[in-house]
Amino acid sequence: MQELSLSSKLKYIFSIPVIISALGYFVDIYDLLLFGIVRIPSLKALGLNPDTDGTFILNCQMIGLLLGGIFWGIFGDKKGRLSVLFGSILVYSLANIACGFLPYFPKEHLEYQYAALRFVAGIGLAGELGAGITLVSESLPKNLRAIGTSVVAGFGLMGAVVAQLTVELAGGWNISYIIGGVMGIMLLILRISVSESGIYKNLEHKNISKGNFLSFFTNKDRLIRYLKCIAVGLPTWYCIGILAVLANQFAPELGIKDINPGKAIMWAYVGVSAGDLMSGFISHALQSRKMAIFYMLLFTLVGVGIMLFGNTNTETKYYIFCVWLGVGTGYWAMFVTLAAEQFGTNIRNTATTTVPNMVRGLVPVMIFAFDSLKPGFTVVESAAIVGAVVFGLAFYSSLTISETHNRDLEFTE
């Protein structure tokens, strides 16, 4: 294969599919995390209970993500990657705009109306990353896939930071929802210029099973590949879901007066954005997906150990470690790209869309394990035990999963 010139490489890396997918993931992350940021002020303003109603609404959004992941995954393999990029953004944008008008909804059963809108938003949000990474993976030359998908995630994850800043500056939680929805509609108009991936077009009219979600469970080799892909991604949401979202629970034991979970999440995502941009270049330099993920996992594990047991006794130190863990777990794009490269074109979008949403869906399981350990252990020890299991599974999976760097993606299952 002839070596591409620098200008040709840059044209691919900043091509329309990459830019549109990056903008889409930016809006997706903004909307995905927005409820977590405005949960307390929005529920108080609506006369609802931030704890019980908040947990119920968040669970509805997570169920929407899980079901949406399966739906959009199958849809993208049956109808094309672009159909998901158009459909998913329309669903979650309209749901978010509707959330912005919740203060004007009938007051009776308002918690169920809020929950229904977050459920619909969850379904829409589930399709964005998988379809975007699949389209970029199939559109770029194989030696540039890692860098292209890193650009998508690195830029996209800044949506978390912008969400926090928008809430602080917009002047009202409902305005933040409307801004997110309007950004989505604007992006939908931009997407008219995107073309379907050539690899999918070659398969589109062939008489072959497409988007069969059950096929992951009917073949032992395929099931093991699928489970390993999920396990590789678990530390990302262990760090976000426990060490950042539940940061305030660690404050008393670490001797810190108070930790703001919103700030912990924001600083973690600053790190994740940087890590995601770096991961593609690390993989490219090492000529390996597996080793790039392995070294980033190792870096994260050291950070978790020092954070929990290394005299993290000020709020500032805790936020610094959140950035550290963010950088380390910034292989999110690499992990989704790995999933895309593990499976054939006929189930590739199903894999890349369901795998990250399965990881997100396992957050309540990790939190349940963490809470269950607390009566017998300290908060720090409970987090460490859950972390040991999560990182053990991730290290084993990253070392034993098949290498996909420079793999030709024009194959089927």
DSSP string across 1-24: -PPPPHHHHHHHHTSHHHHHHHHH
Say which residues have a Cβ less than 8 Å from residue 17's Cβ, sequence separation at least 6.
Answer: 135, 136, 139, 140, 194, 195, 197
Is residue 347 in a domain?
yes
In this predicted structure, the answer to whether residue 185 has a pLDDT above a threshold of 90 is: yes
pLDDT value for 7:
84
Mind listing the pLDDT tens digit for each residue in 243-276?
Answer: 998 888 999 999 998 888 878 988 998 899 899 8
Is residue 82 in a domain?
yes
Collapsed DSSP state (helix, strand, coil) of residue 404: coil
260: its two tokens: 């703001």
Is residue 156 in a domain?
yes
Distance CA(287)–CA(283), nearest Å, equals 6
Task: Tell whether 90 and 222 lie within a shared domain.
Answer: no
Task: Tell whether 62 and 163 lie within a shared domain.
Answer: yes
**Domain end: 144, 162, 193, which one?**
193
Is residue 3 in a domain?
no
Collapsed DSSP state (helix, strand, coil) of residue 141: coil
Task: Tell whether 242 and 98 lie within a shared domain.
Answer: no
Contact call for residues 336 and 149 (beta carbons, < 8 A): yes
Is residue 359 in a domain?
yes
Cα within 13 Å of Cα(280), Cβ side = 25
In this predicted structure, the answer to whether residue 4 has a pLDDT above a threshold of 80 is: no
**Domain end: 159, 193, 227, which one?**
193
Q: Which domain holds residue 377?
A: 216-405
Mind listing the pLDDT tens digit for each residue in 53-80?
Answer: 888 898 899 889 999 999 999 999 998 8
99: its two tokens: 């959330």
Say which residues have a Cβ less than 8 Å from residue 310's Cβ, sequence separation at least 6.
Answer: none
Task: Tell whether 187 and 321 lie within a shared domain.
Answer: no
In this predicted structure, the answer to whether residue 51 has a pLDDT above a threshold of 80 is: no
pLDDT value for 229:
96
Is residue 202 in a domain?
no
> If we measure between CA atoms, which residue out of 225, 270, 358 comes closest to residue 29?
270
Task: Tell whether 234 and 363 lie within a shared domain.
Answer: yes
Task: Tell whether 107 and 239 lie within a shared domain.
Answer: no
Across 152-177, average pLDDT: 88
Task: Tell whether 189 and 243 lie within a shared domain.
Answer: no
For the stretch 351-373, what's the b/e string if a residue is b when 16 or more beta carbons lie within 10 angstroms of its beta carbon?
bbbbbbbbbbbbbeebbeebeeb
Task: Tell whether 233 and 381 lie within a shared domain.
Answer: yes
Distance CA(341)–CA(257), nearest Å, equals 46
Distance CA(216)–CA(355), nearest Å, equals 11
pLDDT value for 43:
92
**What's the domain count of the chain?**
2
Is residue 159 in a domain?
yes
- 225-234, 298-307, 335-344: least confident range: 335-344
- Distances 94 to 49, 63, 121, 186, 306 between C-alpha atoms, Å: 25, 19, 8, 12, 43
Contact call for residues 271 and 327 (beta carbons, < 8 A): yes
Distance CA(211)–CA(234), nearest Å, equals 24
**Domain end: 162, 193, 224, which one?**
193
Average pLDDT, the chain: 91
Task: Tell whether 272 and 377 lie within a shared domain.
Answer: yes
| 222 C-beta neighbours (distance < 10 Å), count | 18
Q: Is 211 left (phi over 0), alpha (psi -120 to 50) or beta?
A: left
pLDDT value for 2:
58
- 42-51, 200-209, 383-392: least confident range: 200-209
- Distances 285 to 58, 289, 297, 368, 394 between C-alpha atoms, Å: 40, 10, 17, 39, 22
Tell whether the torsion through CA atoms of 179, 182, 184 and 189 is positive or negative: negative
Is residue 36 in a domain?
yes
Across 225-234, average pLDDT: 97
pTM above 0.75, yes or no: yes
Give the domain CATH number at 387. 1.20.1250.20
152 or 400, greater pLDDT: 400
Task: Tell whether 258 and 151 lie within a shared domain.
Answer: no
Contact call for residues 25 and 128 (beta carbons, < 8 A): yes
Task: Tell whether 175 and 250 lie within a shared domain.
Answer: no
Chain Cα centroid distance, residue 274? 15
pLDDT value for 399:
96
Task: Tell whether 176 and 226 lie within a shared domain.
Answer: no
Contact call for residues 130 and 65 (beta carbons, < 8 A): no
In this predicted structure, the answer to whether residue 318 has a pLDDT above a threshold of 80 is: yes
